[in-house]
A and B are shown apart, each in its own frame.
Chain A
Amino acid sequence: MQSSPLWYKDAVIYELHVRAFYDSDGDGAGEFKGLTNKLDYLKDLGVSAVWLLPFYPSPWRDDGYDISDYTGIHPAYGTLDDFKAFLEEAHRRDIRVITELVLNHTSDQHPWFQQARSSRDNPKRDWYVWSETPDRYKDARIIFTDTEQSNWAWDMSSKSYYWHRFFSHQPDLNYDNPAVREEMWNVMKFWLDMGVDGLRLDAVPYLVERDKTSCENLPETHAVLKFLRHRLDENFSDKMFLAEANQWPQDVRAYFGNDDECHMAFHFPLMPRMFMAIKLEDRKPLVDVLQRTPAIPAACQWGTFLRNHDELTLEMVTMDERDYMYDEFAKDARAKLNIGIRRRLAPLMENDRRRIELLNGLLMSLPGTPIIYYGDEIGMGDNIYLGDRNGVRTPMQWNGGWNAGFSDADPERLYAALISNPLYGYQVVNVESQRRSEHSLLSWMKQLIRVRKSTRVFSRGTMDMLQPLNHRVLAFVREFEGAKILVVSNLSSQAQAAELDLRRWKGTVPIEMFGGNPFPRIGDLPYLLTLGPYQFYWFRLRQL
């Protein structure tokens, strides 16, 4: 695999859960050997990196985000050797690997916490945040509002309270302690030395706590990230940190620093607005959020996504917008979770292929590195009758046969029931059947990814938003090193006409990128385009 310091800027990332992808040993859950078997599928899909959800030893009270050993592999997923083999095979296919690192907290089963709670004098005591009263840091909000009443939990053994921003079984590490910072760097180095290409840093805004603050985005937290980045740059040249900071763009901007903190950060506010724009049939939400998105250092990149392993978070929307999203996308109250909607892409789009395509078209053409959630490339459904976010983490549907081709185990033994309803069930929605059709969603996604990767304009280019009078049409021009791409999307369920002011690009000929057909040369007059329902065009603007 070639060294490329900015590989993450041009990547198309595929997020998956090892447990959910492929079970090669028939125990009912996926593991690294199974994942390795399916790398050809990912290569064929065209993705350039995989992001793995946590695979560390864990009591699994938060699907692996409660880590009890940072340098091991959960036995259910295999061994370190299995992981190394997977890494090698992925790299052999030019697929980079991003792993999850939960910096903020551990499981309460982690030996560090077990030692810390064992005695107030234990050397590990100060690795966590303790208090005699639950009154400190009162200005910090509670994140998991459905399950937690406080950010403090009582520890019976040491008779004091410990701080947790997430579940009470996930005590926060104390980053004011230099030993913690040093140890977390050692954890990072362990995986990066092995060959891991990037680390997705979970819940970074919450690393440090201070009284009379929200305990989010504090300067001290940024100092921790700068420390870790400094160590990274000292030791490696083409590794990447990806920040998970569910904040407004102007707050997330700080996580890039001066290219001395994280290389990438998720653009959380953009995600719900893509859904909102299509439902409202109006570009306003997208234009607003893009206008509010600050510039970032040249080497940095936004991570953009439609869906992921969590709920469709609505923390970064206004109250009116949240109400609207709930009313439109969570008509069944079971779909609501915390401040969000736990549904996959296809059910959110009512299985409307045109809307699914348009959303993916937006994802692949807006600034940022797109991240595809496993199964969404075939339009998998979800199961809102499962608890927490497990409904969007069901087994991958490989074919219409036994257990959807996911596992040879008895169905009762699967870690989660397969989706089997008439609309999204594995008999209907699966990789094998879609591979056989040139017109399937899977085939279309492959083409979309191929076109996206055919140019660096999408991954690195500037963006000029156009303002056609028709508000249902989103149009912009991306430009990088002289290459220009015009993107025009109809957000509406009805055919639309749009007149575009393209005089800046007068004389160029728009070449439609999927079919290669030239369109009339751009002149002085408004450029008239008509678009079918939810249709979008990508044009390369060429001087011919």
Chain B
Amino acid sequence: MRERRRETTPLGDLKLAETAQLSDDFIRQLSAVGEVDVLVGIPTFNNKDTIERVVRAVQIGLTKYFHRERCVLINPDGGSTDGTPEIFKNASVSDFEIMLTSNPLRTFHRVSAPYHGIPGKETALRTLFVAADLLRAKACAILSPASLSVTPEWIESLVRPAYRESFDFVAPLYQRQKFDGLLLKGLLAPVVRAAYGVRIREPIASDLGLSGKLARHFLEQNIWDQDVTTFGLEIWMTTTAIVHGFKISESFLGPRIQPAPQFGQDLPGTIRQVVGALFKCLEMQESYWLPRTGSESLPTFGFQYDVALEPLKLSTKTILDNFRSNIGQLVPVLESILTPATLVEIRKMIDLPDKQFRCPDELWVKTIYEFAAAYHHSAINRDHLLQALTPLYRARVSSFILQNTKAPAAKLDQRVEDLGQEFERQKPYLIDRWSAKAGGER
């Protein structure tokens, strides 16, 4: 049983408020809002095409499901030059009023403020957490400004477990197209599952719910100047919530559609940020996960339904070509990361014909664990290490697609579950590699 942490003291609140960097105008707006029950944050940076839809969905959601509560919608903006803050302020739901069966009893507050510091999610989220602390929010929801599929019901799904059911961290659960979120399904979620013992399916969510207590806890962590927050705040929030014993749940939100980049577009950058953050978290939190065995599923709110989603068109030929053309150059680097046995298996894949190309679960898990351990031991420059993972990830993606092109959703879910179990099965191997002295046997 994880230990629950104690409530923050008022003195703690004061300390946080004193150390935060907020503009006078933002403080003025917050002081007008006062204490709130529900805080919804939408961090933005040049999101003019989608922000209005998200704001309207939030307003309707709050009106429908939290019409009695003191609510505020906050938009920390990283200095948009496309008019996003103005659209945020002016987005109206007056044309929906006749359809609403509820009217908010209270004033609905909308606060938009540019934040200090480098534009980026970490500064925006820190601003939101400071606001949640100052306003003593009981529950928060953070939404992506780019979502095309957000509905008013997302607000209820993300806020209610935190506001009414005493959960602290509400991860989203989306209906995804079967080849959408492969990094998540094939690496991030199963590693979190095996290491931390929690079967959370979206560990790097940009839409999530939080208790005010957890928002305050995040703010109190001495982490905000470190790389992990700069590049991987989402995974850090998830694992921190797990490690500190906060109550976690999932809420089904339905399909998630947003203007996504093409597969492979800045894949090295994504892997460096997201996987690097995961490895960094493993390093910071090793005392928690090293002794842990097994895994638990999470309580899930919401009725899970299926809708037909437009399939993602991915060309395995392009991905495989990319893998083959890069892997050769990287062998010297991989020799510093992987064991010889693993490297041999990988090299065997290069010559496989496209249709028979396979990266088996067992090999993939071993590869990831060896990368994690090498990262931990700083076997080579960490950026170079993460860059070397990119072609291997391409190989795994190709293999997964080729194997599952005709597989129905249920079958695919089973394959993802099998992979999770494989990560759990091989956890002792991770622990061995992780605990071995740097430069030990490869």
Contacts and interface: CB of A to CB of B under 8 A. Distances in A.
A192 interface: no
Given A469-B28, A492-B34, A497-B31, A320 B107 contact: no
A284 B106 contact: yes
B28 A284 contact: no
B68 A324 contact: yes
A379 to B, nearest CB: 27
Question: What is the size category of the interface that chain B forms with chain A?
Answer: 10 to 19
Nearest to A284: B107
A23 B28 CA distance: 58
Given A320-B68, A324-B68, A469 B105 contact: no
Interface in B26-85: 28-29, 31-35, 67-68, 70
Interface string B196-207: 000000000000
Interface in B105-125: 105-107, 109
A468 B28 CA distance: 12
Nearest to A473: B32
A388 interface: no
A471 to B, nearest CB: 4
B103 interface: yes
A280 B34 CA distance: 12
The A interface is mostly helix, strand or loop, or mixed, namely loop
B404 to A, nearest CB: 49
A469 B28 CA distance: 9
Nearest to B63: A320
A280 B31 contact: no
B147 interface: no
Nearest to A470: B32
Contacts of A471: 32-34, 106-107, 109
Interface string A436-474: 000000000000000000000000000000001111100
B28 A321 contact: no
A348 to B, nearest CB: 17
A55 to B, nearest CB: 40
Contacts of B35: 494
B151 interface: no
A285 B104 CA distance: 10
Nearest to B28: A469
Contacts of B102: 320
Contact of B105 (A280, A468, A470, A492): A280
B29 A282 contact: no
Interface residues of A, number: 20
A283 B107 contact: yes
Interface in A340-392: none
Given A469-B32, A471-B32, A282 B107 contact: yes
B69 to A, nearest CB: 10
A433 B31 CA distance: 42
A318 interface: yes
Interface in A110-157: none
A20 interface: no
A276 interface: yes
B112 to A, nearest CB: 14
A281 B70 CA distance: 10
Interface in A271-295: 276, 280-285
Contact of A470 (B31, B103, B104, B106): B31
Contacts of A496: 34
B60 to A, nearest CB: 15
Interface in A470-490: 470-472
B106 A320 contact: no
Interface string A481-513: 000000000001010110000000000000000
A276 B104 CA distance: 13
Contacts of B31: 470, 497
A152 B70 CA distance: 45
B67 A320 contact: yes
Nearest to A283: B107
Interface in B92-109: 102-107, 109
B107 A318 contact: no
Contacts of A281: 34
Contacts of A276: 105
Interface string A90-121: 00000000000000000000000000000000
Contacts of B29: 469
Nearest to B102: A320
Interface string A290-334: 000000000000000000000000000010110010000000000
A282 B106 contact: yes
A496 B35 CA distance: 11
B293 to A, nearest CB: 47
A53 to B, nearest CB: 33
Nearest to B104: A284
Given A469-B28, A469-B29, A471-B109, A320 B103 contact: yes
Given A320-B68, A324-B68, A285 B105 contact: yes
- List 6 tightest A-B contacts by C-beta distance, closest first: A469-B32, A471-B107, A282-B106, A470-B32, A284-B107, A282-B107
19 contacts: A276-B105, A280-B105, A281-B34, A282-B107, A283-B107, A284-B104, A284-B105, A284-B106, A284-B107, A320-B67, A320-B68, A320-B102, A320-B103, A321-B105, A468-B32, A469-B29, A492-B34, A494-B35, A496-B34
Interface of B: 28-29, 31-35, 67-68, 70, 102-107, 109
Given A284-B106, A321-B105, 14 more contacts: A276-B105, A281-B34, A282-B106, A283-B107, A284-B104, A284-B105, A284-B107, A320-B67, A320-B103, A469-B28, A470-B32, A471-B33, A471-B106, A472-B34
